[in-house]
């Protein structure tokens, strides 16, 4: 469809692959030049409007350019910018609210991204335990850095080993990561039996959303809690996606299972760059801006007044308006509509998700529990119909196993439009 190839060509000349995030591997999408975003929609440089269900991988839970968030950022910019010493009242307010809302948080630090939050969480776990190994799960993604498995989806035949999708990572780093199948309690127990004394941390997306949606079996997260407690390892919930989106207190509030450390990002500031890590005070106390401390911590932009203002405005809205009620109802409406569409078209499909996150897999049931289960997804058909959706002015990321999101700005009409566009796009694929 009609992209602005002149702008895209300029981008490709000076930006590798023509994009800074997200879409490089998807043919055609690097030609998409985005010029505006508002509420449930974005507009490209040809003036074409799309109802956005990609939502930049998840941050704008309130919708794009939320007026309260935007106004708060502008107001902060008029009174304060980055000074890099001391602390601002906004940072104190934000930290207090986060500690109040998220069960595991006794203390919290701000970063600019989710990647930094997971990086520092694993560092401090190693500093606190004096151990080396980190356990992660297939299908979970924790950002781009050397200290954790870098790949989204360690292939099922590579359990126990690292299967990097990126080069340039030291083998020692990869060797320090144990990759286990999600929802496999026996594999977790076996790993602790064999390596317990060397496991610094277990890091997990409590709901692995980087491969769509795998819901944790009853007992799985509890087993992680039990094994890490028994062996003196640190349990890290990476709630960068689940935090604020599924509940103000994240999945730990919903499951009643409290990790030692939690990482946050994305929806916390509705799209402005804020990450956070928090948890047990005895662990968090190891962070210090004094060189030589067990976990020296710094970051030029940590706690930037404009993004802190964005986070405070976001939290205010999440706490005072029926955001979760709205997005949960729309999520249900979409899941029901998509289930009907696939049934009518006689296509084997699993429609799943949680709350505002919805996911379709083109494969027969049952609902997948592990990454290995997801290999049955019909990748070609999946990517094909999602590319066609864009022709109907509806945007879901055409990348295998990708989740979609509704926001507070989406309406029931938007939801129905997605369902109708899916019916046509799937039929024509």
Residues near ligand PMP (CB under 6 A) are 57, 113-115, 118, 141-143, 205, 210, 238, 240-241, 265, 275
Q: Out of 238, 260, 373, 414, which one is annotated catalytic? A: 238
- Give least dist CB 15 to ligand PMP, A: 18
Q: How far apart are CA 203 and CA 137, in angstroms?
A: 8
Looking at the DSSP assignment, which residues form a beta bridge with residue 108?
A: 278
Cβ-proximal residues to 370 (8 Å cutoff; 6+ apart), any chain: 138, 139, 156, 181, 182, 183, 184, 214
Chain centroid to CA 121: how far?
Answer: 16
Q: Which CB atom, from 205 or from 414, has the smaller least distance to ligand PMP?
A: 205
266 given a catalytic annotation: yes
Q: Out of 53, 141, 361, 408, which one is annotated catalytic? A: 141
- Give least dist CB 242 to ligand PMP, A: 8
Cβ–Cβ contacts within 10 Å for residue 287, how many?
20
Specify the residue for token string 């781009």: 144
- Give least dist CB 250 to ligand PMP, A: 11
Question: Which runs of consecutive H residues, i.e. helices, occur in 48-113?
Answer: 67-79, 89-101
Q: Which CB atom, from 58 or from 337, has the smaller least distance to ligand PMP?
A: 58
Q: Out of 266, 371, 402, 414, which one is annotated catalytic? A: 266
317 given a catalytic annotation: no
The single-letter DSSP state of residue 216 is P
DSSP3 helix / strand / coil % (the chain, rounded to 5) = 40, 15, 40
Q: Which CB atom, from 205 or from 396, has the smaller least distance to ligand PMP?
A: 205
Residue nearest ligand PMP (C-beta atom): 114
Query: What is the DSSP track for 306-355?
Result: HHHHHHHHHHHHHHHS-HHHHHHHHHHHHHHHHHHHHHHTT---EEEEET
CA distances from 191 to 160, 186, 194, 362 (A): 9, 9, 5, 33
Q: Which CB atom, from 34 or from 345, has the smaller least distance to ligand PMP?
A: 34
- Give least dist CB 399 to ligand PMP, A: 12
- Give least dist CB 157 to ligand PMP, A: 24
Q: Which CB atom, from 18 or from 271, has the smaller least distance to ligand PMP?
A: 271
402 given a catalytic annotation: no
Nearest Cα to Cα of residue 158 among 401, 366, 371, 374 = 371
- The set of catalytic residues is 141, 238, 266
């Amino acid at each position: 469809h009609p992209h602005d190839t002149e702008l895209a060509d300029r981008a490709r000349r000076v930006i590798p692959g023509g994009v800074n995030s997200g879409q490089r591997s998807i043919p055609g999408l690097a030609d998409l030049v985005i010029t505006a975003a508002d509420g449930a929609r974005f507009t490209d440089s040809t003036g074409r409007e799309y109802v956005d269900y990609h939502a930049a991988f998840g941050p704008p839970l309130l919708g794009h350019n939320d007026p309260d968030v935007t106004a708060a950022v502008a107001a902060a910019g008029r009174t304060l910018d980055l000074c890099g010493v001391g602390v601002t009242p906004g940072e104190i307010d934000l930290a207090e609210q986060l500690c109040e809302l998220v069960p595991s948080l006794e203390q919290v630090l701000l970063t600019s991204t989710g990647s930094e939050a997971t990086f520092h969480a694993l560092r401090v776990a190693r500093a606190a335990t004096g151990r080396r190994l980190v356990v992660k799960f297939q299908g979970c993604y924790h950002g781009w850095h050397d200290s954790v498995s870098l790949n989204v989806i360690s292939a099922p035949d590579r359990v126990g080993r690292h299967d990097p999708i990126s080069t340039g990572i030291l083998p020692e780093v990869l060797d320090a990561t144990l990759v286990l199948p999600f929802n496999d309690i026996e594999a977790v127990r076996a790993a602790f039996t064999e390596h317990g004394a060397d496991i610094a941390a277990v890091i997990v997306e409590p709901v692995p959303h980087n491969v769509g949606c795998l819901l944790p079996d009853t007992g799985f997260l509890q087993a992680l809690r039990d094994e890490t407690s028994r062996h003196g390892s640190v349990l890290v919930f990476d709630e960068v996606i689940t935090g604020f989106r599924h509940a103000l207190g994240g999945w730990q509030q919903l499951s009643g299972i409290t990790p030692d450390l939690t990482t946050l990002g994305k929806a916390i500031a509705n799209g402005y760059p804020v990450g956070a890590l928090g948890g047990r005070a005895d662990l968090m106390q190891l962070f210090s801006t004094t060189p030589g401390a067990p976990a020296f911590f710094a970051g030029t932009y940590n706690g930037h007044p404009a993004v802190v203002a964005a986070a405070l405005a976001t939290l205010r809205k999440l706490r005072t308006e029926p955001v979760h009620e709205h997005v949960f109802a729309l999520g249900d409406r979409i899941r029901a509509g998509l289930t009907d569409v696939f049934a009518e078209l006689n296509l084997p499909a699993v429609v799943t998700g949680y709350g505002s996150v919805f996911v379709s897999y083109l494969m027969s049931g049952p609902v997948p529990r592990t990454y290995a289960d997801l290999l049955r997804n019909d990748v070609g058909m999946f990517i094909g119909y999602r590319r066609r959706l864009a022709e109907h002015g509806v945007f879901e990321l055409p990348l295998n196993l990708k989740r979609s999101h509704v926001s507070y700005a989406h309406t029931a009409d938007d939801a129905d439009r997605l369902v109708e566009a899916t019916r046509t796009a799937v039929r024509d694929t």
